[in-house]
Each structure stands twice: as structure tokens, then as C-alpha cells.
Amino acid sequence: MRTWRALVATLAVIGCTPSKPVELVALSGKLGPAGGSLTAPETDGLAGARLEVPAGALDTEVEFSFVPGDDETPLPGDGFRVGPLFAIEPVTTKLKAPVRITYPFDPAARAAFPNTDAECRVWQRSTDGWSGVAQTASTESSVTIETSSLALGAAGVQRAIIVNVCGTSAMPCALPGPCTSPMGLCMTRLGDPIPKPFTPFSVGVARAKVVYASRPAGEPIRGVVYSYPSAQTTVSPPLTNPSMGASIGRPDMAPNEDVWVVLPGVSTTKFPRVAPPERFDTESTRLSRGVAVSSTGTVSRFVRDTVDTSTVYRLVKDQQQFTITSDFRGVVNFVPRRALNTFIAWDRSRGLVFFDGTSDVTAQHLVSPPSGFFVADVATSYKSAAFAVLFVNAEGTQRKLSMFATAPTSLSDQPTRRDFDGVIDTQIEYGSDDRVYAFTSVRAQIDVFDATTGGVSNIPLTNAPVTSSDYRELLPLALRNVHPTGELLLVTTGTTASPFFLAIKRAGNP
């Protein structure tokens, strides 16, 4: 006999991009020594979730429930969830044989990674942290494992990454290795940073040093300055009991090497070299959208604030505040124009706003996305007024890169604009040579765009065939430009033996 009970909860589907919360109706039912299965219906937020218990796995009848969960403990640096997190209760059930659990995932979230459906796995939570469980089967929207654990878990991927441009054979060579690239380019693997960055995306560069946020398991978060090629790190005092989530905004560093970090939730934190950390922007109405430190040490924070139930955006420069009035419609990002004391703010649908950060401003969107596209990324030059915008269509199948020599004064003013169609890059960074660099995961290469000549150069990251696992393991997760040296910093996660490392393009011109 089988009985059912509806349990209702709200959970955001976990993927690589934000998604709206969905209503999850988790079902329960009784299974006994004869075995059987429980499956969430197609109308449920956990549609595709399934528990299969073989005969003889249970001594007595047990009522199982699919229960949505939430856990902010970070995955390993190379792990990403692409589906909803849930457990099967009671998790302490004694099983005499493994069961099969099917975890649904969002195909669009999975497609953001180079992993195929057959390479998906399940991340399960234990008292020691997250561990990856290899699949026994998969479909285009789910992954199945055999396990004796009913603990919290979710479908996910694991990216093992090694960066290499030095090999000339069909198989990749090992770093650091001699550079034999005919282009004169070589990647040098840096020593593994200790402590390690919280995530690859929490790494920035400032004044030719690497700066990042670190939070070892069970320890408080710290700010870290990493010097290469010595691989020496300077670690700040800890921040106790921070408000933490699954990611950290890109940090920046002041001339005295104080590390500034935007934490999830309402918190911007300064990690001095020796003094206790200080926290800013902890007002309940305000959420920080980023931090930037000028060459003179001025700290700028772009925040979303609530005033009389209305949303406003402000640039906070040290103790000064300037309000930006605009018809922003969604999440607003900002980036400092490195060579100028000015800033660019944008939302995905409305386009770019330029302001100098010295007074309140009523903003006009001077660069709008093409029809059917939205703004995906913006980069600014280290030495001039140039900037670049990456546009992506709603389906994520088309990308356009536009490079500008200076800021426009109206929508009709497009100063020395050069467009590149058919771009499939996912991140853009300006080099100190005023070219735009972008890593292309589909082709496992760095593309270099030159606005002056309109030319495009390529730096291959691998000679491995596109269909091979080596190809997918040679992709960076994040791209940074180390100024003023002009070197490229590829932030990657590695193999089990080397779970995290950094690599830099040392020399050569594309």
C-alpha cells in the first residue's frame, strides 16, 4: 500500500545564472522490503526526481519524503550545481543495498559548461563537506546515481582544467614546460596559492599583484595578496561570522595593500594587513554592487538603496554619496574606467550609462543593446578612454562585441566604434596594449580584438581534438589582465592532485 502527502516549499533552482524561485511540491510515500520507487510528477518543481529502492534493501516499511534543502557551504573550486538541491528523508535510513536516485537539472544551466550530459555528476553533502558522485545514467535533463546516502544533493558538473599553449603535438604538454609556440606565447603555471581563493571568480588583479578572498573550510574569510613569481602570500586578519553565500564579488586592493571585498548580502569589507577587518554598507536597505579602488586609494562602491520603498542607485566614494537617477529595469552592474576618474553602469536590457562620480546625475543610456540582445559584459581600457561591450541574445546563441574609442555623448554619437559579429566569448578584458582579450570555451583559445585594425588574433590553449576530454580540461574559468605588465592571468581549477592554480601568459604579441 502506498500513501502520498504533499510538502510545499520554495527554492531557487541552482545554476550558473540567476533564476526565479520555483514552487516545489515534494512528495512522500511508503516503501518496504519488496522495494519500489517514488517519482515527483511533471507538474512539480522537482519534476524528474526519483527514488528507486531494490528488493531486500529495507528490513521494514519506511515513509520516504523528497525535501528541498539549502546549504551555503561552498563546493570544491571545480564544482558547480546545475539543479535543485534536495534530500530524501529520513536520511538516517539503514540500507542493506544501494538505491538509485535521479536528480533533475536545468539543461540551460548545464549547457553553460563544456561538460556533456554524460559527464554530469551529483554533489552530495556529508559532515566533511561536498563530494562528487559519478553517475550511472543520464538524460538531457537528469542524472542518476547509485548510492547508500540519502543526504542533501544536487545535479552538477566538475571541471578539471589545465592551461597549456606550449605543446606542438596532438596531446597537451605539461606546465610549466618549454615554450615552443610559433607565436612566441607561453603560459607559466604559478605556484598554488595558500590559502586558496574561495572561488575562481573571487580573484582580481591590482598593481601587478593577484588579490583574492579566501575562506578555508570551517574558517573565517580573509583577504589575500599574492605575489608572483615568488608565490608568496600576505594574509589579512580574519573577519568573524561574515554574511556569506556561494560567491564573492571580485576584490580590489588599495596602494597600501588593504584588500576590499564585496560579500554576498549587505556587506563591503576592508581587510587591512595587520588591523582587524572593517565592515561597511551593512544597512538593511542597501546592497553593494561592486567595489573599485583608485590609484590614489579612493574607494568607490556602487550600491542599490531603498528610499521610501523606491529603488535608487548610488556611487559611494569614501564618505561622499552621489545618486544616479535612471530607468534601470533590472540588476545593475558597474565598472570603473581605469584610465579616467569616471564610471560606467548598466543593466542587461537598457544599456550603458556614463557618469563622473562627482555629483548627482540624471542618467541617459548612451549605448543600447541591439534588438533582441542584452549587455553581458563591459571592459574598460587601462590607458585610454576606450571601452568594449559584449552583447548576447536572449537564447545565448549569438554574441556581438562593440569597441569604442571614447564615451558617446548621445545615442547617435558612436565615436570610432568597431563591431565584431559571430563572437562566442564569455568574458572580456582589456590588455595594456588597448586590445580586448576574451577566452572562448567553445574553441579553447584566447581571442584578441584590435579596434584600430579590426583584426582578430587567436592564442590556442590546446592542440587536443575538440571531441576529447583533454580539450575540455584545458579551459580557464576566469580571465584577468595584470596591469601594468600586460600579462594575462587565467584563473583555473586543476586536477585532483592540483585542485587550483593560476597561469600567466609571459611574453609575445598576438
Q: What is the pLDDT of residues 329-356, one digit of tens each?
A: 777 888 888 778 889 999 888 889 998 8
Lowest mean pLDDT among 92-106, 158-172, 307-321, 341-355: 158-172
Closest CA to 252 of 483, 72, 16, 501: 483
Q: How sure is the predictor about 19, in pLDDT bands with cuts at 50, 70 and 90?
A: very low
CB within 8 Å of 269: residues ≥ 6 apart: 221, 223, 239, 242, 260, 261, 263, 277, 278, 279, 280
pLDDT surpasses 90 at 278: no
CB within 8 Å of 201: residues ≥ 6 apart: 247, 248, 250, 477, 478, 491
% pLDDT > 70, the chain = 70
CB within 8 Å of 354: residues ≥ 6 apart: 342, 343, 344, 363, 366, 407
* Greatest mean pLDDT among 223-232, 383-392, 448-457: 383-392
Q: How sure is the predictor about 65, in pLDDT bands with cuts at 50, 70 and 90?
A: confident
Q: What is the mean pLDDT of residues 458-476?
A: 57
% pLDDT > 90, the chain = 17
Q: Which residue has the higher pLDDT, 368 or 487?
A: 368
pLDDT value, residue 482: 67
Q: How sure is the predictor about 495, in pLDDT bands with cuts at 50, 70 and 90?
A: very low
pLDDT surpasses 90 at 461: no
Q: What is the mean pLDDT of residues 386-412?
A: 88
CB distance 382 to 362 below 8 Å: no
Q: Which helix (H) or strand (E) holds 472?
A: helix 469-472
124 DSSP β-pair partners: 131, 153
Q: How sure is the predictor about 203, in pLDDT bands with cuts at 50, 70 and 90?
A: confident
pLDDT value, residue 457: 77
CA distance 324 to 331: 14
The whole-chain average pLDDT of the chain stands at: 76
Model confidence pLDDT, tens digit, residues 98-140: 999 999 987 766 765 655 666 688 989 887 778 888 888 888 8
- Degrees, nearest 5: CA angle 393-398-400: 90
Q: How sure is the predictor about 61, in pLDDT bands with cuts at 50, 70 and 90?
A: very high
pLDDT value, residue 11: 30
pLDDT value, residue 202: 77
Q: How sure is the predictor about 305, in pLDDT bands with cuts at 50, 70 and 90?
A: confident
pLDDT value, residue 475: 57
pLDDT surpasses 90 at 14: no
pLDDT value, residue 345: 92
pLDDT surpasses 50 at 167: no
Task: Read off the C-alpha cell for 291.
Answer: 567595489
CB distance 171 to 491 below 8 Å: no
For the chain, helix (H) and strand (E) counts, in that order, are: 2, 41
Q: What is the mean pLDDT of residues 437-446?
A: 70
CB distance 16 to 82 below 8 Å: yes
CB distance 161 to 493 below 8 Å: yes
pLDDT surpasses 80 at 67: yes
* Four-residue CA torsion sign, 489, 496, 74, 376: positive
pLDDT value, residue 172: 34
pLDDT value, residue 229: 61
